[in-house]
């Protein structure tokens, strides 16, 4: 006797329930097809706002149609996982304090994939994506009903805010899709634009990444432009400012639930100066051990030392002169030496009025 296939709506609801059971905080289903924001993405690239992120224009044709990254798939199960927006702000953006979200979420989506195959009673062609392929996940998430595009360009959910990661499982199953999120609930609010220290949000929903502190401290591989170093302030890796001020995060941000995202020992309890000093003094072996499985490895140690010098140049004291001097004189990387030299000049300039006899 051949089993009757489960109705598309029932299977979709069971899949979303299982996603919640695996620890995801939002789940929705979207039908794959032409991406609504493909033209806006192409225009953004053309305006140079991607900076040195040369990987973004690659596979542009696949980004324009969500059926193309993994041929044969027709539906996307789109999920979000909260990473604790109620945690205090600090020198490291909240998302990067613990283990790498790519690994955590991909493992959960793979588990969901296995569950779906068992539920369907046959192999299911599909693949998990967590910010790892030519897929406009934010586009899919809005289409799956998870939220709208905030003026800070983040996806915002009306009951969760925006402190969450996005991921998608593409499958070859015809699933009943959710209604796309249509409303724009930002209204006349411009707090995110007003709060950005580097004016990276050039207009609502348009980010010049080359001015964004997250880009400058993570994606940029070369020197941070001198005009943007002071606005970086005490931010060593990433920036949460445009999310911190969003009224939906002020009201709905969650306590951290997923222990994998809890601050690691190398970060927990340290202020910006402490962390900057420790990173400037680290060897590569020490860094590899302390930051194993950390998303901060994306910037590499040289990038983090560059950032650390900027942080000390902005908020350091005479106690930081020695560590900066060692970096200026002994670091093999010219970029790190240049930023340490800049920081030392800043500290000297701050001391001069008090040194006059």
Catalytic annotation, residues: 131
| DSSP conformation letters of 253-266 | ------GGGSPPTT
> What tokens does 71 get?
């041929």
User: Can you point out the beta strands (E) in the chain?
Assistant: 26-31, 75-82, 126-129, 148-149, 155-156, 164-171, 201-203, 206-207
Q: What does the alpha-carbon distance between residue 160 and residue 163 come to, in Å, rounded to a whole number?
A: 8
Radius of gyration of the chain (CA): 22
- Judge whether 194 and 151 are in contact, CB under 8 Å: no
Residue 161 gets which letter from DSSP? Answer: B
Quick one: angle between helices 334-355 and 300-315, nearest 10?
10
Integer angstrom CA distances of residue 308 from 149, 297, 320, 328, 339 = 32, 14, 11, 12, 9
Neighbours of 209 (CB within 10 A): 20
């Amino acid at each position: 006797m051949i089993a009757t296939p489960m109705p598309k709506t029932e299977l979709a609801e069971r899949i979303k329930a299982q996603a919640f059971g695996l620890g995801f905080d939002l789940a929705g289903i979207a039908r794959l097809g032409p991406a609504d924001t493909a033209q806006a993405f192409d225009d953004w690239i053309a305006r140079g706002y991607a900076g040195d992120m040369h990987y973004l224009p690659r596979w542009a044709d696949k980004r324009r149609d969500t059926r193309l990254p993994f041929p044969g798939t027709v539906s996307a199960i789109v999920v979000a996982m909260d990473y604790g927006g109620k945690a205090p702000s600090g020198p490291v953006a909240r998302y990067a304090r613990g283990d790498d979200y790519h690994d955590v979420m991909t493992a959960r989506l793979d588990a969901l994939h296995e569950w779906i195959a068992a539920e369907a009673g046959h192999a299911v062609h599909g693949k998990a994506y967590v910010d790892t392929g030519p897929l406009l996940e934010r586009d899919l998430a809005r289409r799956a009903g998870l939220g709208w595009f905030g003026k800070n360009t983040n996806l915002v959910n009306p009951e969760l805010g925006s402190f969450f990661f996005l991921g998608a499982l593409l499958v070859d199953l015809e699933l009943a899709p959710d209604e796309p999120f249509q409303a724009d609930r930002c209204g006349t609010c411009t707090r995110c634009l007003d709060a950005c220290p580097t004016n990276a949000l050039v207009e609502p929903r348009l980010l010049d990444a080359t001015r964004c502190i997250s880009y400058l401290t993570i994606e940029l591989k070369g020197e941070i432009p001198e005009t943007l170093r002071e606005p970086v302030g005490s931010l060593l890796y990433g920036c949460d400012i445009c999310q911190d001020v969003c009224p939906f995060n002020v009201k709905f941000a969650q306590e951290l639930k997923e222990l994998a995202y809890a601050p690691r020992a190398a970060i927990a309890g340290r202020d910006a100066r402490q962390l900057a000093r420790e990173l400037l003094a680290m060897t590569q072996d020490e860094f590899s051990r302390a930051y194993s499985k950390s998303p901060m490895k994306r910037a590499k140690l040289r990038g983090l030392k560059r950032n650390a010098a900027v942080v000390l140049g902005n908020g350091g004291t005479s106690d930081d002169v020695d560590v900066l001097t060692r970096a200026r004189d002994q670091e093999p990387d010219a970029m790190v030496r240049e930023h340490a030299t800049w920081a030392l000049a800043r500290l000297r300039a701050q001391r001069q009025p008090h040194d006059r006899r």
